[in-house]
Amino acid sequence: MRKQIIRRPFQQELADSLQSLPVLLRRIYAAREVKSPQELDRTMESLYPYQSLHGIDHAVYLLADAVQKNQRILIVGDFDADGATSTALAVRALRSFGAERIEFLVPNRFAYGYGLTPELVAVAKNFNPDLIITVDNGIANHAGVAAAKALGMRVIITDHHLPATTLPSADAIINPNQPGDTFPSKNLAGVGVIFYVMLGLRRYLVSTGWFTKKSIPEPNMSRLLDLVALGTVADLVQLDRNNRILVHQGLRRIRAGQCIPGIIALLELSHRDFSRAVTSDLGFAVASRLNAAGRLDDMSLGIECLLCDDSIRAREIARTLDQLNDERKSIEHDMQAQALTVLNNLYVNLKNELPRGLCLFDESWHQGVIGILASRIKDRFNRPVIIFAPGQDDELKGSARSIAGLHIRDTLALIDAQHPGLIAKFGGHAMAAGLTLLASQLNSFMKIFDETVSKQLTDAQLQHLLMSDGELLCEDLNLEVASMLRDAGPWGQAFPEPIFDDVFRILEQRIVGDKHLKLRLAKEDKIIDAMSFFVDTTLWPNHRVEFIRAAYRLDVNEYKGRRTIQLIIEYIESVDHH
């Protein structure tokens, strides 16, 4: 799908308020609505304090009581990377506080579905816990919480997903998105929420003299920030000021090698240098391999990797995760080919317009991979997409991904309110959600979803726009500027990495690694290397094309100890002349 490159607008007065910075950075930050230099402060002292999280004091008291009485604590996690990092962080923190009887349980997505369900509580009963702590789930699990309470278990929910109109009857709920919560950032990932809870617990235990009494060294909470950074990036939550601090500090530890062996092993397996790690390395290299465990097998393997302190064992687990990820890629490739064939036959060949809200289903599709497929189709056609796969009995499991301008979880809530009983259950965020419905309801749902989306999205919002920070001057195409941009992040959701656009003359072009386009380009008298990954090899290389317009990121390429700049091309199109 052809994209339209649009220059990011910015207010000059915002740029002027950042006088101490280079002109290029002023423009970039102003386009991301940074209003003062204070918003760029990435020190731990600038983190929002935990005290404003609603219910934190009671949760900390319950946790401290369980730790001090050596009670059995069960962490109930989730089967994605945010859930895995949340689980590992909770276990590591509680162990460092002196808790000895800690177990974790992650529902297998194919057997139990999402969160603390009554079926999972039946399994949890085997652990005989005094206290259950949910991480990255629980806010929608009314029946599961009730089942746990009926068995005499106390329940603390830590979650960040949007709540329904009623809350479960847990002993304590920590969720910045629950009614009445005044915590300034509503964008914490699940791992961020449990990190804050553990900050509060550590403070309380210090105040009671617990660590002194037990001769336990006071735990350094910054040691957990590698997990916080990984889970925050993986879950695609907005990198607001608070999350940027958490991710920046976590990346600092990873680059210094002061992180768990599992993260280093996963980075090295994907040929990434941990000493130069950036957010995209966490998302594409580490999180994708962790997620493969939850998608195809059991996330317990991913959590074991994050809990392992032996680098040799961590590498062994990482290799297994890598193999699972290769299998996931193969399954996804086949599913994507099927989906594109269906879309081609239904809409392109028949000259029909694509629905604004796009739903696809195939009996053979793998439930663990539908989220990735939904993302791929959404990126390709710039529409909200729900991909369905068979679930248990007569149910279908759906994974939804949205575009800017449509809050997908709220859209599902609207459909549920207007058509009671159509959706069996749902939950999620603005950009991603999950749902379950009966197979017999699929056709009705597809029609209603398209109608509901059509009322909310305009033609302009469905245009495939690529936002650019403009042109770079020839003198800015250098290592110093590339390094400055790399260090100016962390970049991510709602705080996007700078993309520039320009017209270049092609000097050389060839395919490397079967599907990547390697280019040598010229701008005026400047010659520069460029890479465009996963190109359509039926279109490129094209030796009839002399000039291209490229939207690109400025990157540093390190090869055999030599550092050079290269352009990473996000979008490429031919142009007639300069």
Question: What per-residue confidence (pLDDT) applies to 188?
Answer: 97
- Reported as half-sphere exposure (CB side, CA atoms, 13 A), residue 569 has a value of 23
Contact present, 468 and 497 (Cβ < 8 Å): no
Q: Which long-range contacts (CB under 8 A, 24 or more apart) does 97-100 make?
A: 97/67, 97/201, 97/202, 97/205, 97/210, 97/211, 97/216, 97/219, 98/67, 98/210, 98/211, 98/214, 98/216, 99/66, 99/67, 99/70, 99/73, 100/70
Q: Which tokens is 568 given?
A: 């990473």
Average pLDDT along the chain: 94
Region 196-219: what's the mean pLDDT? 97
Highest mean pLDDT among 112-126, 192-206, 373-387: 192-206
Q: Which residues contact 457 (CB under 8 A, 6 or more apart)?
A: 356, 384, 403, 405, 406
The pTM of this model reads 0.92
Q: How are strands ordered across the β-sheet holding 131-135?
A: 102-105, 73-76, 131-135, 154-158, 172-174
**Residue that has been written with the tokens 């009887």 in this structure:** 101
Region 15-43: what's the mean pLDDT? 95
Among residues of the chain, what percentage have pLDDT more than 90?
Answer: 85
Q: How many angstroms separate the CA atoms of 222 and 228, rounded? A: 10
All structural domains of the chain, each given as residue ranges with its CATH number in brackets, are 4-32+466-575 (2.40.50.460), 50-322 (3.90.1640.30), 353-461 (3.10.310.30)
Q: How many angstroms separate the CA atoms of 198 and 192, rounded? A: 10
Kindly tell me if the per-residue pLDDT of 429 is higher than 60. Answer: yes
Kindly tell me if the per-residue pLDDT of 565 is higher than 80. Answer: yes
pLDDT in tens, 129-167: 999 999 999 999 999 999 999 999 999 999 999 898 999
Q: Which residues contact 377 (CB under 8 A, 6 or more apart)?
A: 336, 339, 343, 358, 360, 385, 387
Kindly tell me if the per-residue pLDDT of 557 is higher than 80. Answer: yes
What angle separates helix 442-456 from helix 408-418, to the nearest 10 degrees?
A: 120
Q: Which tokens is 263 given?
A: 């993260």
Going by DSSP bridges, is the β-strand pair 425-428/432-438 parallel, antiparallel, or unpaired? Answer: antiparallel
